[in-house]
A and B are shown apart, each in its own frame.
Chain A
Amino acid sequence: MNIRLRQSLQRGGALVALILAQGAAAHEQAGVAGGLVSGFLHPITGLDHLVAMVAVGLWGAQLGAPALWVLPVTFPLVMALGGVLGVLGVPLPMPELVIALSALVLGGAVAVRLRAPFGVAALLVAVFAVFHGHAHGVELPKAANPLAYGIGFVLATGLLHGCGITLGLLTRWPQGDRLVRALGAAIALLGTDFLATGLRML
């Protein structure tokens, strides 16, 4: 290689390394940032939570008003009540199985376009919300910053509902309606798998 070219490359490399130099951070997930990130990622990285949250939004969109907006308003509150139970160490019966069942039931409701009365739908979703919140609450004391964890977890849950509702708006078109029902069927299948796994572990 040409010597002058090699020297230029070396100097260029040194300059880039100098510009990109940063202080080392051994523990980036500590404090507020750590709590916010772990709270935000908890509902998203748990597939059982994720599909159930999206299914709530999809079902709300299928049911229409008032379920469409009452569910996203009340779900975080009821889930937080479950979270408090988890934080305080109040046990719930078979939480993992009920969470798996929530994906199966909510996904199935979307797949068959179940037109349940609003009160029944709200009660069913509320029961599942308590169990989902309980699972999050159990994790809360381990977070770096509890307030930041709570903010991240509620934001992620609300955004997942928003995803479900937005996808659910596809039901206005026949093709979109079929797609939404297919999503519901896929969620129900995942729920069946979670349930089978949970039952095997009993």
Chain B
Amino acid sequence: MTPPTMTARPWLLALVLLLAPGLAEAHIIAARLGDFYTGALHPLTDPQDIVLWLALALFAGSLGPGRARWLVLLMPLGLLAGFLLQVTLGIGQIGALGAAGLMVGLGLLLASGLATGLAAGNRLFGGAVLLVTATSGASNAAGMAPEANATLFAAGLASAGYVVITLLLAAIVALRWPSTDTSGTAGWRAIVLRVCGSWIAAIGLMIGGFALKSLAGV
């Protein structure tokens, strides 16, 4: 017969290990270039940045591949400009109400389909890119820890902006402006973008309402 200490040993060992579980860390990013990864991940963990970047990509994609291509270049530059404004002058943030206004504006332009037909389309596009990228860069800079390396953080932020916006634009342009469309679904493809726009505007409206409530102290 097996002694009781022999049968209890595996359970005891498991109990000790269970009480001290730890997550596996294959890449300890904090050890080297940690602030680069922190900067790259920072906007991706904030729903406000995600919605605004998506709105901007949808807006640029709806205007056609020609204008959309510019965003690939302007996105990281705009993020860096906003980042610098916040770090050096302490300006650039627009708060929840401003972000809600941007969501509503971009969403309504998408939902109505007005932007494609406007004569001032280029200026509208430029203004939207400048506002979204600069304010996003500034808000991310404001969220940076004081001990963080600003250069690495900014490089990570700009890289994330470049990668995310390129992938989003590729998907949106392929959906809205396919090189060959024999399925007869061109109308539906435009409607998908309009529906996305109305959803973004609706989100912005609700956030704006909440921001107004907070401001009024109701």
> Which residues of A does B touch, CB under 8 Å?
3, 6-7, 10-11, 13-15, 17-18, 21-23, 32, 36, 69, 72-74, 76-77, 79-81, 83-89, 137, 140-141, 145-151, 153-155, 158
| A88 interface neighbour in B6, B17, B48, B218, Cβ under 8 Å | B218
In angstroms, Cα B201 to Cα A150, docked, is 11
A141–B210 contact, CB under 8 A? Answer: yes
Does B28 interact with chain A (Cβ within 8 Å)?
no
Shortest Cβ gap from B40 to chain A (Å): 18
Does B7 interact with chain A (Cβ within 8 Å)?
yes
Q: CB-CB < 8 A to B209: which residues of A?
A: 83-88, 137, 140
Q: Please indicate which of the listed interface residues A69, A77, A81 has the most CB atoms of chain B within 10 Å of its own CB.
A: A77
| B47 interface neighbour in A74, A77, A83, A145, Cβ under 8 Å | A145
Task: Name which of B64-72, B86-94, B116-124, B191-199 contacts chain A.
Answer: B191-199
In angstroms, Cα B1 to Cα A85, docked, is 75
Which A-B residue pairs are the 9 nearest by beta carbons? A84-B209, A14-B14, A80-B202, A80-B205, A87-B209, A76-B202, A150-B206, A21-B21, A146-B210
In angstroms, Cα B213 to Cα A21, docked, is 43
Interface residues of chain A: helix, strand, loop or mixed (majority): helix
| A87 interface neighbour in B48, B96, B191, B213, Cβ under 8 Å | B213
Considering only CB atoms and an 8 Å cut-off, how many residues of chain B contact the other chain?
38
B203–A147 contact, CB under 8 A? Answer: yes
| B207 interface neighbour in A23, A36, A88, A146, Cβ under 8 Å | A146
In angstroms, Cα B111 to Cα A74, docked, is 8
In angstroms, Cα B14 to Cα A32, docked, is 34
- 20 interchain pairs (CB within 8 A)? A3-B2, A6-B7, A7-B6, A14-B10, A18-B14, A22-B21, A23-B23, A32-B45, A36-B47, A73-B195, A73-B197, A77-B108, A77-B201, A77-B205, A83-B205, A83-B209, A87-B212, A88-B212, A150-B210, A155-B199
Q: CB-CB < 8 A to B201: which residues of A?
A: 76-77, 80
B51–A21 contact, CB under 8 A? Answer: no
A84–B206 contact, CB under 8 A? Answer: yes
B11–A10 contact, CB under 8 A? Answer: yes
